[in-house]
Amino acid sequence: MKTKNIFIFFIAALFLVSMPFTLTALERSEIPDKYKWHPDHIYPSLEEWEKDFEYLGEQIDVLAAFKGRFAGENATDPAGALIEFQEIGEILEQKLERLWVYVMFNYHVDMGNSDWAGMQQRIQMLAIGFSQKLAWAEPELLEIPQETMNRYVAENPELVDYQKSFDDMYLQQEHVLSEAEESVIAASYNITGTSRDVFGKLTDVDMSFGEIKDEDSETIEVTDSGWNSWRVDKNRRIREDYFKKLWNGYEGFGNTLAALMNGNIKKNVYFSTVRKYDNTLQAALDGSFIPEDVYVNLIETTRANLAPLHKYNEIRKRLLGVDHYRHWDYYVSLVEADETRYTWEEGVDMIVNALKPLGKQYRKDIKMALNPENGWCDAFANENKRGGAYSSSCYGVHPYMLYNFDYTKGLTLEDVSTIAHEVGHAMHTYYSENTQPFPNKSYATFNAEVASTVNEAIMATKLLADARKAYKKAKKANKEAAKQRLIYLLETNINAVRTTFYRQTMFATWEWEANKMGEAGQPLTKDSMSKLYYDTLTEFHGPAAEYEELSSISWARIPHFYRGYYVYTYATSYAAAVALATDINGKKKGAVKKYIAYLQSGSSKHPVELLQDAGVDMATPAPVEALVAYFSNMVEELDELTR
C-alpha cells in the first residue's frame, strides 16, 4: 500500500484533467436522465456509502496496529506482516477512493448542495486521519535494507505486484522523514488546501461580474464561463465590453486572489522545504520521477521558438483588419466559423469514424464508453454544476466523464473534439486498470494528457487532410467555399497548438517564476504577480499583440495554478501526442501496438520511460522542436492561402 501523500492523492489527483469553464445552464431536471452519469454504479445508496465510511474509520486502526512489525525487536515475521498489511491496505485504499469519488460526482453536478459539501469535508477528514495514523509506515519500511526487501519479494509471490512501489520508495528515501515529522505533515493537509478550496468557492459560486449590452441592447450577464462563447463573437465592441467587465471583476478581487495565490505558493515552498528538496519544481516533479530537465527543456526550447507564434499574431492582425490587435481579438475566428450543431450521438459517430487508425477494439470500447445508456457520461451543463470537462474513476468501477455542453443548441465541432479528448483519458484509465495490478493502475499526470490529445490530433489531422484534398479538387464556384473550409480547419489546428502548447507553456513559465519568487522570500502581491504575468504574456505573443494593463490580472483566473506544476503537462503531452498521432496516421510499423501498450501501462514504469517505449523521448528538445515545425508549417500555409 502506498502511504506517502495519500491525502494529496485523493484530493488532487482523482480528476486529473479538468478544464475550468461551463456555460450558462438549464436546471438539472430539464436535462434528460440518459445524459446523466450514474454514481449509483459506485454505491446504490447513501446507506451503503455510510457503511463503508464507518468500516474504513474502524479499519484504519487495524492497519495502524502493524506498527513495529516490519522492523525492530518485535518484527518476528516482517515478510508475513508486510503481506497482510498490503492486502488489508489495498482493500481500504480502494474503499477510500470509492467514498471520495462518489461524493465528488454527486457534488460536482450540484455544487450549491451543502449536504454534499459537508460529506466532502467528512471524507476529507477521514483521509487526513488515514495519513496521520499511517505516518509511521514508510519510515519504518525504510528501516528494512533494500536488499532484504528484494529478498522478501523474491520469496513471496504475494509481494511481487509491489516491487515497483518498494523500489520507488527507496529512490525517494532521502525525502521521507521521521514518524513524528510525517505525522505533523499529514495533519497539515487540513489547512494547506485552503487557498485552493477558497479560490474554487469564490470563482465558481460567489463572484459576480455584472452585465453588458449586446448589439440589440439586450442584457448579457457576464460570467467567467460565458467568456468562452462571447470572446468569439464577431461584434468587436461586445468582445471588448465583455472582456473589460470580466477582467475588472478579477481586478476588483485582485488583493484577495493574490493572498490566495500567495498562500498556495507558500504551501509549495513549505512542502519542498520540509521534505528537503532544493526547490518547489523539484518537489513537484520528483514524486512522479520526472527530471527537472524535462520542465526546463520545455520552457527554454519554447522561448527560443516563439517566432512562428509571433507571425501568427501578425497574420491575425492583418486578416482582422485592426490597427491594434488586442486581448479581446485573440480568439475570434478569421473566417466564418462552422455553425453546424450535432446531437450527442452524431458527435460520437464522428469520433468513432475518425479514430479508425487505432483499430476495431479501441473504437468498440469508446463507443461503449460514450453510449449515454451506460452511465459513464454527464453530458450537458446545468445550474450549479462544476465547470469544464474531466474524466475520473475509482478502482473496480468504470471511468466517468463530465462535460458541460449546451443541451438546447447541441454540440459544436469543438465540443466533439472535447468528447474525443476526455474519452481518451477514460480509455487510458480503463485499459490500465484492466491490465495492471492495483499498485500500478494509476498513471502520472505527465502521461495523462497524451492519451486524450492523441485522439484529438488523429481526428484533427483527418479533417484537415480531407479539407486539403477537397480544396485541391474543387472547381470554379466551389473553390472559394473549399478554401474557406480549409482556412477554418487550419486556424482550428493552429489554435489548438497555440492554446494547448504555447499558452500552457506560458502559464508554466509564469508559475515557475512565481514559485521562485516565493522561494526567495520576495513579495507575492497583486502588483508583483501581475507584472510578472504581463512580462511573460508580451514575451510570448510578440509585438503584434498589444495588451493593456488589465490583461496582467489574468493569472488570477487560472485554477490549475493551485494544482502545483500541472499546466506544463498539457504542453509536453501535446508535443508527445502529435508525434504519436503522426506515426499512427502514417501507419508506421508497430505504432498502434506500442500506443495501445502505453494505454495499458499505468505506472508500471516511470513516466518518461513509458513515453520512450511508445516512441517519444521528452527528455530531449526533439519533440518540442518537431511540434514547433508542425505549427510553423501550418502558419505558413495559412499565410499563403490568405494573401
pLDDT confidence of residue 7? 39
> What distance in Å separates the CA atoms of residue 332 and residue 354, rounded to the nearest whole number?
26
Q: Of 127, 121, 145, nearest to 3 (Cα)?
A: 127
Please give the CATH topology (third level) of the domain spanning 34-175: Butyryl-CoA Dehydrogenase, subunit A; domain 3 (1.20.140)
What contacts 432, CB < 8 A, 6 or more positions away?
A: 440, 441, 442, 443, 599, 600, 601, 602
Contact (CB, 8 A) for 381 and 406: yes
Among 185-189, 367-371, 548-552, 618-622, name the one with the lowest average pLDDT.
185-189
In 3-state terms, what secondary structure has residue 211?
Answer: strand
Confidence of residue 538 (pLDDT cuts 50, 70, 90): very high
Q: Is 271 helix (H, G, I), strand (E, B) or coil?
A: helix
Q: What is the pLDDT of residue 24?
A: 52
Separation CA 401–CA 376 (nearest Å): 6
Nearest-CA neighbor of 387 among 399, 396, 378?
A: 378
pLDDT tens digits for range 100-123: 999 999 999 999 899 999 999 999
Q: Give percent above pLDDT 70 in the chain.
A: 96
Q: How far is CA 5 from the centre of its chain?
A: 19
pLDDT of residue 387: 85
Note if 30 is an active site residue.
Answer: no
In our burial notation (b when 16+ CB lie closer than 10 A, e otherwise), range 409-423 reads ebbbbebbbbbbbbb
Burial classification of residue 180, based on how many CB atoms lie within 10 Å of its CB (0-12 exposed, 13-18 middle, 19 or more buried): exposed
Predicted confidence at residue 458, as pLDDT, reads 95
DSSP secondary structure letter of residue 387: P
**With DSSP H G I counted as helix, E B as strand and the rest as coil, what are the percentages for the chain, rounded to 5?**
70, 5, 30
Q: What is the pLDDT of residues 15-34, one digit of tens each?
A: 444 443 444 568 999 999 99
- Number of neighbouring beta carbons within 10 Å of residue 221: 11
Q: What is the pLDDT of residues 539-569, one digit of tens each?
A: 999 999 999 999 999 999 999 999 989 899 9
**C-alpha to C-alpha distance for 286 and 292, rounded to whole angstroms:** 8
Averaged confidence pLDDT in the chain: 92
Give Cα separations from 461 to 415, 554, 579 (angstroms). 17, 31, 12
Residue of 93, 97, 422, 433 marked catalytic: 422
Q: Is 429 exposed, middle or buried (0-12, 13-18, 19+ CB in 10 A)?
A: buried
Q: pLDDT band at 274, cuts 50/70/90?
A: very high
Of all residues in the chain, what percent carry a pLDDT higher than 90?
83
List the chain domain ranges: 34-175
Tens-digit pLDDT profile for residues 35-86: 999 999 999 999 999 999 999 999 999 999 999 999 988 899 999 999 999 9
pLDDT of 8 above 80: no
Average pLDDT over residues 392-404: 96
How far is 489 from 483, CA to CA, in rounded Å? 10
Mean pLDDT of all residues in 236-257: 96
Residue 212 has pLDDT above 90, yes or no: yes
C-alpha cell at 442: 494509476
